[in-house]
Structure 1
Amino acid sequence: MSHPRRLANIIGLSLGWCLMVSIVFIQLSTSTLAARAFGGDAVATLPAGIMMAGATLSATPGTLAMKRWGRRAVLLSSGVASVGGAALMVVAARWELLWLLVLGSVPLGVCNAQANNLRFAAVEFAWAGFEPHAMSLVVTGAVLAAVVGPEVARHTRTALPWPYVATYLYVVGLSAAYCVLVAVLEFGRTPDLVAEKAAQAAARAAAERKQPEGQGRGADEEAAGGGGATDGEGEGEESGDDESLERGVAAGTGVGGGVGARAEGAGPGQGPGQGGTPGRVVVAVEPHQAQAQARAQATPQAGPRGNSTAPAGPVVAVAPMEPAAAPAVRPVRELLLTWTYLVPITTAALAYAGMAGMMTASPLAIRDQSYSFEDATQVIQVHIISMFFPSLVTGEVIRILTDRGTALTGAVILVGGTATFFAGARLPVFYGANAVIGYGWNLAYVGASVMVSKTYSPVEKFLAQGVCDTVVLGALGIVTVVSGSLYGWLGWTGYTGVFMVVNGLSVVINLVAMANYVMRRSKARAAPVKSVR
C-alpha cells in the first residue's frame, strides 16, 4: 500500500475519532440538562455515568471480539448500536422519558469504548517511523469536535418545538456518518501491512549487521524484532539498540518478532558474512509475512527512464519459517503485570483522571464565582481545544523527547496547570490553568499510548489494548461520577489539592521508571559485546 493511501486511511481514522468525540461531548452536556429537566438534580449525571460505565465494561470484551472477527465488524456493529441508542434518546426527549434517556446512553458508551481503538489502528496503517505521528493525527481529529460540538449543542437544543429532540437527531446523523466511515476504511489490509513492515525491518537489520571481514553474529542474534515486548526488566531495551527497538515493535513484530536473517547458505551458527551467496541475505519470517513481502518485491520499481530497476544494496530473499518458529503467546500475567506495560497505562489513566477532575469541576467553581454560563462554556471549549490541537506536533515532540520523555513532560505540565488554580478563583486563571492542563494531558496520554503500543506482539495486541482502555475509561468514569460531590465537600482549594496529588503521583511513577531505564541502558552499554566467530 502506498504512503498516500496509508495516510488517507489514517486521516479517515482521525475523522472517525472526531465524530465520536462530538457525540460524547453532546452526551455529556445535553443529556445532563435533559436528565435534570426530566427527573431533577439528583439524576442529572445519570446518563453520563451510565455511558461511562458501558464504555468501561465493554472495552476489553470489544477488543477481544476484534481479535476474532476483525476491527471493522466490531466498530461497525457498535456504530449501528450508537445509531439505535441516539434514536431512543430522540424518543426520550420527545416524551420526556428519563429511563429511555438512560437506556439510550448505553450503546453510545459501548461505541465510544471501541472507537478508542482507532489510535492503535493508526499505528498499523503507518509506515515505519511514522507511528507516533499517525497516533497524534488521530487524536488531532477531536479539534474540530471541540470547536463545532459546543456550538451545535447550543443551537439545536431549541431548534424544534420539543427541547433536545433536534440535538439527538444530530447525534443520529453523526453515528450514521461514523458507520459509513468505518465501512470504507481498509482495516482488512492491516495484517499484511504489519507483516510487510516486519519483513522490511528484518532485512534492514540483517544488512546493517553484516560484517565486511566475514565475521557476523549467529542467526539467533539477527532477529529484527528483538526490541519488542519483553519481560518485566525490558530485555529489548537493555540491548542498547533503540533504533532497532523502535523498528521492531512499531512494525508490530512484538516478542521476538518471529523474524530472523542469515546469509544464504550460512549454517546455523553463521552470520550474513559467513559463506553462502555474497550480497544475498535470506530473511526468515512468518508464512503470512513471506507472502506479503513477496507481493511487495514482485512489483517492479521504475527507474529514471521508466525501466524496472533492482533495489540497491544486498538482495533480500524471504523464506517462510517453520511453524514451530512462531512466537508463543505469553501468559496473561507476564503480558500485563510488567513495568513496561503498567507504567504507560497508569500514566494514561492518571492523566485522564487528573484532567477530567479539574475540567468537570471548573464550571461549578466558575458559576460559584458568579460568572455566566457562557463563561463556563468558553473555558471548557478552550480546554478541549488545548487537549487535541497540540497533537499536530506531538508526533515530532515524541521524536525529539522519546515517548518516555514526552509522557513524563506531560505529567509535569499537568502538575503545573493544576497548581495554577491556586492563583485565585478568577476567570483568567480558569482559562489559563485549563489550557495548560489540556496540553499536559495531550503529551502524557499520547506518549503513554505510544509506549503501550510497544509492549505486545501481534497476537497479544487486542488484549493489551483492551485492558489499557478499560483502565483509562474506568479512571475517567470514577472521576466524572465523584467530582461534583468531592467539590461540594472539600471546596475549590481542597479539591485542587487532591488532584495535585493525583498528577504528582504520575510524575513520581514516570521519574522512577525513567531512572530505572537509564540505569539499565548504562549497564547494557558497559557490558562487552561478544562476537560469534
Structure 2
Amino acid sequence: MRPMHLQVFLLASAQALFQIVSVLVMTIGGLAGSILAPSPEFATAPIAAMFLGTAISTVPASMWMSRAGRKVGFVTGASLGMLGGLLAAAGMMTSSLILLCAGTFLAGTYQGFAQFYRFAAAEVSDEKFKPRAISLVLAGGVVAALVGPLLARWGGDLMQPTYTASFLFLSAASAIAIGVLLGVNVPKTVDTEDDRANERPLSAIVRQPTYLVALFAAVTGYGVMILAMTATPLAMTHHHHDLSSTVTVIQLHVLAMFLPSFVTGSLIARFGVLTIMQAGIALLVAHVLLALTGTGFYNFTAALIMLGVGWNFLYIGGTNLLTRSYSSAEKGKAQATNDLTVFLVGLCASLSAGVLQNTIGWQALNLWLLPWLALAAAAILWLQLSTKRTAARA
C-alpha cells in the first residue's frame, strides 16, 4: 500500500470511529434528554450541546493544528471525546441534564477536530486522487451507520439508568480512535515566500463566488440534514413507533449518508462538482416530498434515505469546491471559517428541531425546508452560469 493510500485508510478508520460517536449522540441524545429535561422543548439540548461544542472548537482546533500539526490536534480531539462519554454517562447516572450536556459538548469538540480529517486526506493526496481521498474518508461513516445505532440499542438497557452504557461505548470508541490517530502522518505544509506574500485577508477569500457557493451549499446540506435527523426520533415516538424502528431508520439514514462516498468522487470527476451538488439538492427535495406523504415506518425510511444521499452529494461537492478557493497559506482560516459557519447553523438546527417538532409537527417542519433548498439551487445555478460565461470569454 502506497504511503498516500495508507494515510487515507487511517483517516477513514478514524472517521468511522468519530462518526460512531456522532451517530450515537444523534440517535439517543434526544431520547436521553427527554428523560432528564424539565419539558419536551428541551429534549434535544444534548444534541444542541454537541453542535455548540463543535462550533466553539472549530477555529481553536484549526489554530492548534497549524502550530502543533494534524496528528497532535486529532489526538487532542479524540481525548476530549473519551472524557465526554464518561461525563455523559455520569449525567445519566446522576439524573443531571447539565452533566449530560457537558459530556455531549465535549463530544462536539471532538467533532470540531475531526472535521479536518477530510482536509488532511486532501493534503496527503496528489491532485488526481484528492476528490476520491475526500470521498473515501467520509465513506468511513458507513461503519458508523452500522455500528452507531446498534451501540445505542445495545447500550440502552445494558446498564441502569437507561442509556448509561451507550455513552460508555462512546468513550470506548474515542479511546480506540486515539490509537488509530497515532499512526497518522500528515506532513506540515511549508509555505513559500510567494505563498505568504500573496496571502489574502479572510474578507477577500470569502467574497469569492466559489467560496460563497461552497459555503452556502455546505450550510444548506448540513442544516437541512441536522434539522430533519434530530427531529426524526421525536417524530417517530410521537407517531407511536418503538425504539427498534427508530434505530433502524437512523441506521439506514446514516448508511445513505456515507455509502455513496465510494462513488461520489468518481461522479464529481465525470460530471463536474456543480452538477453533483445540484443532484444533492434534488434528493433533499425528494426527502421533503416523501416526508409529506405520511408518517408510517416506510415513509420515514424512504425520506431519511433521500436525506442521507442528498447530504452526501452536497457536502462532498461543497468540500471539493471549497478546496479550489484558497492557497496553502490561506487554508487554516478558510477551512475554519467554513466549518464554524456550518456548525453554527447545525447548532441552530438542532436547537430548533425539538421546538418545531413539538409545535408545528413533522410534516410542516419539512415543508419549511423547501425555500432554503430553492435558494441553494439558485446559488449553484448562478455559479454554473458564471463559470460558463467566463469560459466562453477566455
Same fold (TM over 0.5): yes
Separation in 1, partners of 2:168, 2:367 = 41
Point out the more displaced range, 479-488 or 138-147: 479-488
Residues 30, 230 of structure 2: 8 Å contact kept:
no
- C-alpha deviation, 1:27, in angstroms: 2.0
Q: Distance in 2 between matches of 1:92 and 1:368?
A: 25
Task: Output one character per residue of 1:311-358: Cα deviation in whole Å (capped at 9) or x when no partner.
Answer: xxxxxxxxxxxx568642112211122211111010011011122222
AA at the equivalent of 1:505: L
* 1:35-434 correspondence to structure 2 within 5 Å: 35-42=33-40, 43-187=42-186, 189=187, 191=189, 286=192, 323=193, 327-434=197-304
SS at match of 1:184: coil
Number of residue-to-residue matches in the alignment: 393
1:399 and 1:131 mapped to 2: Cα distance?
10
| Kept in 1: contact 2:92–2:163 (CA 8 A) | yes
- SS class of match (1:191): coil
Q: Whose relative contact order is higher, 1 or 2, with alpha carbons under 8 Å and at least 6 apart?
A: 2
Q: Distance in 2 between matches of 1:408 and 1:32?
A: 31
| One-letter amino acid of the structure 2 residue matched with residue 331 of structure 1 | P
- Cα distance, 1:509 vs structure 2: 0.9
Question: 1:206-229: per-residue Cα shift (whole Å, max 9, x none)?
Answer: xxxxxxxxxxxxxxxxxxxxxxxx
Shift of 1:366: 3.3
- Rounded to whole Å, the distance in 2 between the matches of 1:27 and 1:325 is 41
Question: Any gaps of 5 or more consecutive residues in structure 1?
Answer: 196-285, 287-322, 525-533
> What's the TM-score, normalizing by structure 2?
0.93
Instruction: Say if 1:161 and 1:485 are closer, same or farther in 2 by CA, change over 3 A.
Output: closer
Q: Distance in 1 between matches of 2:353 and 2:110?
A: 24
Once the two structures are overlaid, the 10-residue window that deviates more, 104-113 or 459-468, is: 104-113
Deviations, residues 419-467 of structure 1 (Å, cap 9, x unaligned): 2323333332222222122111111110110000111111110111111
- C-alpha contact (below 8 Å) 1:357/1:499 kept by paired residues: no
The Cα of 1:190 is off from its aligned counterpart by 5.2
Structure 2: distance between partners of 1:150 and 1:144: 11
SS of the equivalent of 1:482 reads helix
Q: 2:84 is matched by which residue type in structure 1? A: G
**Equivalence for 2:18:** 20
Partner residue, 1:441: 311
Measured at CA, do residues 84 and 422 of structure 1 come closer, stay the same or move farther in structure 2, by a change above 3 Å?
A: closer
**Residue in structure 2 matched with residue 275 of structure 1 by the alignment:** none
Is contact 1:35-1:47 (8 Å) kept?
Answer: yes
Aligned to 2:323: 453
Structure number, greater radius of gyration: 1
Superposed displacement of residue 63, structure 1: 0.8
CA distance in 1: counterparts of 2:119 and 2:26, whole angstroms? 25
Report the residue type matching 2:34 in the other structure. R
Query: Kindly, what percent of the aligned residue pairs are identical?
Result: 26
Q: 1:461 to 1:409 in 2, by over 3 A?
A: same
The 10-residue stretch of structure 1 (34-43 or 503-512) with the greater mean CA deviation from structure 2 = 34-43
Contact 1:358 1:499 in 2 (8 A): no
Scaled by the length of structure 1, what TM-score is found? 0.70
Question: Is the alpha carbon distance of 1:468 and 1:92 closer, same or farther for their aligned partners in structure 2, counting shifts above 3 Å?
Answer: same
What SS does the aligned partner of 2:240 have?
coil
**Cα distance, 1:393 vs. partner?**
0.5
Distance 2:33 2:227 in 1: 21
- Whole-angstrom CA distance in 2 between matches of 1:53 and 1:159: 29
Deviations for 1:279-328, whole angstroms, at most 9, x for unmatched residues? xxxxxxx5xxxxxxxxxxxxxxxxxxxxxxxxxxxxxxxxxxxx568642
Matched, 1:518 2:388: yes
d(CA) in 1 for partners of 2:78, 2:380: 36
Write the deviation string for residues 72-99 of structure 1: whole angstroms up to 9, x where unpaired: 2222222222222222233333333333
Q: Secondary structure at the match of 1:423?
A: coil
The CA distance in 1 between the partners of 2:35 and 2:235, in whole Å, is 22
Range with greater deviation from structure 2 (114-123 or 151-160): 151-160
Tell me the alpha carbon deviations over residues 228-271 of structure 1, each in whole angstroms, 9 at most, x when there is no partner.
xxxxxxxxxxxxxxxxxxxxxxxxxxxxxxxxxxxxxxxxxxxx
8 Å Cα contact 2:149-2:250 kept in structure 1: no
Answer whether contact 1:125 1:190 (CA < 8 A) is retained.
no
- Offset of residue 408 of structure 1: 1.9
Using the TM superposition, name which of 32-41 and 131-140 deviates more. 32-41
Letter in 2 for 1:484: G
The alpha-carbon distance between structure 1 residues 166 and 149, as it changes in their structure 2 partners (threshold 3 A), is same
Change in Cα spacing, 1:376 to 1:456, as seen in structure 2 (3 Å) is same
Contact kept in structure 1, 2:10 and 2:180, CA below 8 Å: yes
Q: Name the amino acid aligned to 2:153.
A: R
Q: Distance in 2 between matches of 1:340 and 1:37?
A: 45
> What amino acid sits opposite 2:16 in the alignment?
C
1:254 matched residue in structure 2:
none
Q: Deviations over 1:115-174 (max 9, x none)?
A: 000001001111230111000001100111111111111112222354433222222211
- Partners of 1:117 and 1:331 in 2: CA distance: 21
CA positional deviation for 1:502: 1.6
Distance (Å, rounded) in 1 between the aligned partners of 2:158 and 2:388: 58
Deviation at 1:39, TM superposition (A): 4.1
Query: Residue type of the partner of 1:14?
Result: A
Alpha-carbon separation, structure 2, partners of 1:325 and 1:48: 40
| SS of equivalent residue, structure 2 residue 272 | helix
Structure 2 CA distance for aligned equivalents of residues 329 and 24 of structure 1: 35
39 and 510 in structure 1: CA distance in 2 versus 1, 3 angstrom threshold: closer
Distance, in Å, in 2 between the alignment partners of 1:108 and 1:158 is 22
One-letter identity of the residue aligned with 1:80: S
After superposition, the CA RMSD in angstroms is 2.1
Using a 3 Å threshold, how does the CA distance of structure 1 residues 430 and 30 change in structure 2: closer, same or farther? closer
